[in-house]
Structure 1
Amino acid sequence: MEKKTTSRFRQFINLPIELVQNRTLIGNLAKNDFKTRFAGSYLGVIWAFVQPIVTVVVYWFVFTVGLRQGRPSGHPFVLWLMAGLVPWFFFSEALNGGTNALIEYNYLVKKVVFNIDILPLVKVLSAIFVHVIFTAFTIVLCWCNGYIPSVYLLQIIYYMICNFLLVLGLAYFTSAVVVFFRDLTQIVNIVLQIGMWMTPIMWNISDILVNHPTLAKVFKLNPMYYIVDGFRNALLDHIWFWEKPLWTLAFWIITLLFFVIGVNVFNRLKVHFADVL
């Protein structure tokens, strides 16, 4: 029993070491993955920004013009909405890509000498290129609307790291399981659709659940709420993440738990990947 525990611990510790050792290969694969998604199209990588921008415009029109949504937390709705959608777009794209990483790169999985541990990370990194540019676009838009960049903006980097580690842990789990249970891809898509509304991104939890404090706390246990709220705190509300110590602690406990489970499941199943694929 002790030997098994020691072996699993070593596998978990070896993963970050292997990722660092293969950082050049990971970077090159991530760049190639990003480029090949738009190969052959006239507009190329511009398509990576078309869908998010169209989505923001549609939601803005529906909630501001159609449903006459007010100013959540006193901010223009379009800015408040974008601050929530930007981290969600990355999470959604990275999780979808990471889930199918082994299936998409099955020809590499079958190579004995290839380190398949890096594949989920490659897909997550591929998604981060658009995320960085879209975040910069949101900062400029806020600036144009009178929200001058301040020192609070530095914590955007912190929340990006939070998002990155959260989705990476989930991607290791889903990419391993989907090899044996292909229906997981559809389940992940459904969960992401529901998750957008449960986070919440389109509605203000402080206004809607003002009379239901217990239910509000349950919603806030969603780790993506912590990240979405953090982006809004950095861009609009000017609140530091350490001003909410309990929610910060809860987020990291949940995220590290996801990461440990995801890596352990991946390590236990990877010896069978080549046979199944």
Structure 2
Amino acid sequence: MSKSRKPALFQILGELSGSRKLIGSLAKNDFKTKFAGSYLGRVWAFVQPVVTVFVYWFVFEKALNAGTQSTKQGIPVPYVLWLVAGLVPWFYFSDAMSAGTSALLEYDYLVKKVVFRISTLPVVKVVSSLFVHVFFVCFMLGMYVVYGLFPGVYMVQLVYYSFCMFVFVLAVSYLTSALAVFFRDLVQIINIILQVQIWATPIMWNMEAVSFPPAVIAILKFNPMYYIVCGYRDSLINHIWFFQRPQLTLYFWCLTVLLLFAGTHVFRKLQPHFADVL
């Protein structure tokens, strides 16, 4: 089969495999320059999420304690630990999703270069966001230790669920980054969707404790981030292996693979027109 007849996903995977060093170099540079010009520089990448964690904790655990008891029933650990296990993956998803969508717009000068492999740009953004994510996974584990809950063997699943999230975000980013070149309002639309999705994902509230109709609960579980957030909590709190949730695992990977094929196909179809529009 000739290269032109290969599915776009396999073409792009081949390009990424041959550009590993370039992707690593660009991702490091992207992270370094993200806060260039500010006095504290890269420190802001870590300060803002930490502040967010403690703001949410204070509001839901202290200020609104009486009004949130029903949503906290059944949580077997201090609320702040349950909360941070949901917020840490969400921080990565939100940051990588926003950055991946605007990847081609931000690196328009590279898109116009004939010899540059444009397919690496969404990956650069998604990898760049990993640096902060690794720090916050360590920060989260440190919080558990401080509270006397030492991570066990189930903790190894954090690598698996982080990989799941990486692949899912990359799949969506190929689609959204390509469409954003022609419809730039999509960047703002994605940001609005993320603001809504954080509440549709059970991060601040316990889905198992609310009195929603079963149909509503089922719909909310179709959110792929439910699988990720639930997985982080299974790894640190519930001590459940990912293969003990076969239906959710199968659904997540079927959706992710479908999005990978769709996203890379759209990206490859629109790629010849990127330079003309940018």
Bin for the TM-score computed over the shorter chain: over 0.9
Q: 1:77 aligns with which of 71, 76, 79?
A: 79
Partner of 1:224: 225
2:161 counterpart letter in structure 1: Y
Change beyond 3 A, Cα 1:8–1:54: farther
1:226 counterpart letter in structure 2: Y
Residue 33 (structure 2) pairs with residue 31 (structure 1): no
Q: 1:60 aligns with which of 57, 61, 67?
A: 57
Quick check: 139-148 or 19-28, which moved more? 139-148
In the TM superposition, what whole-angstrom CA distance separates every residue of 1:115-150 from its partner, at most 9, and x where no partner exists? 000000000001000001101110111111121111
Partner of 1:144: 146
1:58 counterpart letter in structure 2: V
In the TM superposition, what whole-angstrom CA distance separates every residue of 1:42-83 from its partner, at most 9, and x where no partner exists? 322111011111111111111111210445522211111110
The alpha-carbon deviation at position 189 of structure 1 amounts to 0.6
1:118 counterpart letter in structure 2: T
In the TM superposition, what whole-angstrom CA distance separates every residue of 1:216-251 from its partner, at most 9, and x where no partner exists? 121111110000010011111111111110111011
- Correspondences of 1:168-187 after superposition (within 5 Å): 168-187=170-189
1:247 counterpart letter in structure 2: L
Give yes or no for contact 1:90–1:131 (8 Å, CA) kept in 2. yes
Q: Aligned equivalents of 2:31 and 2:5: distance in 1?
A: 33
Q: Aligned equivalents of 1:43 and 1:159: distance in 2?
A: 31
- Give the aligned CA root-mean-square deviation in angstroms: 1.6
Partner of 2:158, secondary structure, is helix
The percent identity for this pair of structures is 54
The alpha-carbon deviation at position 108 of structure 1 amounts to 0.4
Unaligned residue ranges in structure 1 (runs of 5+):
none
Aligned length: 273
Change beyond 3 A, Cα 1:8–1:220: farther
Q: Aligned equivalents of 2:186 and 2:242: distance in 1?
A: 34
Partner of 2:259: 258
Q: Aligned equivalents of 1:15 and 1:239: distance in 2?
A: 35
The alpha-carbon deviation at position 7 of structure 1 amounts to 4.1
Quick check: 7-16 or 128-137, which moved more? 7-16
TM-score (norm 2): 0.95
Give yes or no for contact 2:23–2:124 (8 Å, CA) kept in 1. yes
Give yes or no for contact 1:169–1:255 (8 Å, CA) kept in 2. yes
Partner of 2:154, secondary structure, is helix
Residue 235 (structure 2) pairs with residue 234 (structure 1): yes
The alpha-carbon deviation at position 8 of structure 1 amounts to 5.4
Give yes or no for contact 2:201–2:220 (8 Å, CA) kept in 1. yes
TM-score (norm 1): 0.95
Q: Aligned equivalents of 1:78 and 1:85: distance in 2?
A: 10
Unaligned residue ranges in structure 2 (runs of 5+):
none
Asked which structure has the greater RCO (Cα within 8 Å, sep 6+), the reply is: 2
Give yes or no for contact 1:8–1:264 (8 Å, CA) kept in 2. no
The alpha-carbon deviation at position 193 of structure 1 amounts to 0.3
The alpha-carbon deviation at position 212 of structure 1 amounts to 2.1
- Correspondences of 1:59-208 after superposition (within 5 Å): 59-68=56-65, 69-70=68-69, 71-72=72-73, 73-208=75-210
1:30 counterpart letter in structure 2: A
Partner of 1:22: 19
Partner of 1:206, secondary structure, is helix
